[in-house]
Amino acid sequence: MQNQLFINGRFVDAAEGDTIDVLNPHDGSLITKVAAATSTDVDLAVAAAERAFPRWSAMAAADRGRLLLRLADAIDANAESLAQLESLDTGHPIRDSRALDVPRTAACFRYFGGMADKLQGSVIPVETGFLNYVQRAPIGVVGQIVPWNFPLMFTSWKMGPALAAGNTVVLKPSEITPLSTLRIAELMAEVGFPEGVVNIVPGYGHTAGQRLAEHPRVRKIAFTGSTATGRRIVEASQGNLKRVQLELGGKGANIVFDDAKLDAAINGAAWAIFHNQGQACIAGSRLVLHERIADEFLDRFIALADSIRIGNPLDATTEMGPLTSLQHLERVKAYVDVAREQGGHVMAGGAAPSDPSLAKGYYVRPTIVEARTPQDRIAQEEVFGPFVTVLRFDSDEEALQIANSTSYGLGSGLWTRDLSRAHRTAAAMEAGMCWINCYKRVNPGSPFGGVGQSGYGREMGYEAMHDYTEARSVWVNVDGNVPPHFRR
């Protein structure tokens, strides 16, 4: 298991020798100690990425793509061990790591591997006698900060487009869950990525993360995490006016209309909030139910939530694992208190499971709370756990009003059999993504990102390639005429 920094193609200890304990969320035991990068290490990593940039950016795009494709193959070849590592470190149920995290990571690198030589510039129809073409050029050294909720997948979302477009990377995984990202670095070295193209610096946000965000030689910073930290990243980026891409929090509204197919909606709503223990920025954390079906829906939804198998993430039958850190467990539990203080009705969960074998882990049962009003804190603030807030509505207008009543705008969903209502509502949702009769679908070709306090810029798809390049405009005097202005 790799636990050092990866700088300039080598695994090294942190300059100041510090380490951080990486804990198993199932029982709080120590998995390993990982090197903790500080400013000195970040500076070394940026210098390595800067040295690697001229050669990497000049390499034929197809060759860069080939390396990404080889990485995707290496991920497939090591799928089981990667899935085990991700589950051990994060608490993701192993069935999800096997079926989702690992294949999606390989698919993302494969998509951008294929995309590398498909990013084309354009020719602009300008005045006769001139040719104007626009090239998409890489930006330079990019800094990337990845959170703890989907470390493996988010590493591919961030690195895939950046590398395909010809940038070099310094990436800081969360110190809570750095292991799968370091394993990816090992695989990159094995498949032949040149030294310095990718550098991995696990460490604390306020030191390593802050240095990366303010570093004068970093040309772009891409961040996934909380809105509060996103604001700090923007402030830190100002020194050299680096480009910023932010994928922040969410409070996804999942609307169930009274004509919805209930079986699918109940199952989909459970997936929307309980997958990965609700630790997802796109989680459907507000369940907005039509008054006419609300009681029946809730009876069945509560029964389903109570039946979810909670357990050791490495057990193949586990459907929900622990939260990823003790600190986060405390935060989620505090919201149960907030709900009660504000008159919310806790209909399920709100406590740890009774199974004594889980007592040392960071477990909490699927929690369903009906809020009094859409303005309650539990209906406005991101809990980021297996905690869903129920709200009711009477009309389509009211459903939309509730859905659009937070400052966030990332994921959203709706369930109906009425085609017009579906498209009308989707168009009016203030959100970067909307799922109709499904939830949480992602694909490397489909742009992912938010509006409002959920951030800006897009991951994945063609948009991500654009976000990792600059448009360079070149003018050619085709006829070779002397300009008329000072002609003698």
User: What residues line the site for ligand NDP (CB under 6 A)?
Assistant: 145, 147-149, 174-175, 204-206, 209-210, 213, 224-226, 229, 232-233, 247-249, 281, 331, 382, 384
Beta strands 168-172 and 198-200 are parallel
Is 291 among the catalytic positions?
Answer: no
Q: What is the largest CA-CA distance in the chain?
A: 94
The rounded distance, in Å, linking the Cα atoms of 168 and 170 is: 7
In the complex with ligand NDP, the residue whose CB is nearer, 44 or 281, is 281
Task: Please check whether residue 352 is in contact with residue 363, taking contact to mean a CB–CB distance below 8 angstroms.
Answer: yes
Q: Which residues contact 3 (CB under 8 A, 6 or more apart)?
A: 19, 22, 32, 33, 34, 35, 178, 179, 182
The residue type at 347: M
Q: Which is nearer to ligand NDP, 24 or 279 (CB)?
A: 279
Nearer to ligand NDP, 227 or 416 (CB): 227
Work out how close the CB of 262 gets to ligand NDP at its nearest, in angstroms, rounded to a whole number: 30
Is the Cβ of residue 96 or residue 247 nearer to ligand NDP in the bound state? Answer: 247
Q: Return d(Cα 363, Cα 351) in angstroms, integer.
A: 9
CB of 175 to ligand NDP, least distance (A): 5
Nearer to ligand NDP, 18 or 76 (CB): 18
Active site annotation includes 247: yes
Q: In the complex with ligand NDP, which residue's Cβ is closer, 208 or 400?
A: 208
In the complex, minimum distance from the CB of residue 17 to ligand NDP, in angstroms, rounded to a whole number: 18
Q: Could you give the CA distance from residue 283 to residue 170 in angstroms, rounded to a whole number?
A: 28
Minimum separation from the CB atom of position 154 to ligand NDP (A)? 8
What is the phi/psi pair of residue 16, to 5°? -90, 5
* 37 vs 294 by CB, closer to ligand NDP: 37
Choose the catalytic residue: 86, 214, 247, 370.
247
- Residue by residue, DSSP assigns 111-134 as HHHHHTTT---EEE--STTEEEEE
Q: Give the nearer residue to ligand NDP in terms of CB position, either 370 or 382.
A: 382
- Quick one: which H or E segment has residue 83? helix 79-90
310-315-317 Cα angle (round to 5): 65
Residue 157 near residue 459 (C-beta atoms within 8 A): yes
In 15-112, the DSSP E strands lie at 19-23, 30-35
Residue type, 343: G
Instruction: Identify the burial level of 263 via C-beta atoms within 10 angstroms of its C-beta, where 0-12 means exposed, 13-18 middle and 19 or more buried.
Output: exposed
> Tokens 């497939």 — which residue?
76
Whole-number minimum distance, CB 436 to ligand NDP, in Å?
23
10 Å CB burial of residue 271 (0-12, 13-18, 19+) is middle
Instruction: Pick the catalytic residue from 86, 175, 281, 382.
Output: 281
Query: Minimum distance between the CB of residue 280 and ligand NDP, rounded to whole angstroms?
Result: 7
If you ran DSSP here, which 8-state letter would residue 31 be given? E
Give the three-state DSSP class for 213: helix
Shortest gap between Cβ of 248 and ligand NDP (angstroms)?
A: 5
Q: How far is the CB of 450 from ligand NDP (least distance, A)?
A: 9
Residue nearest to ligand NDP (CB): 205
For the bound state, the minimum distance from the C-beta of residue 287 to ligand NDP, rounded and expressed in Å, comes to: 18
Pick from 36, 346, 354, 367: nearest CA to 205? 36
Give the three-state DSSP class for 110: helix
**CA separation for the pair 169, 468 (Å, rounded):** 11
Q: Given the complex with ligand NDP, which of 232 and 290 has the nearer CB atom?
A: 232
Distance CA 37, CA 143 (A): 14
Residues labelled catalytic = 247, 281
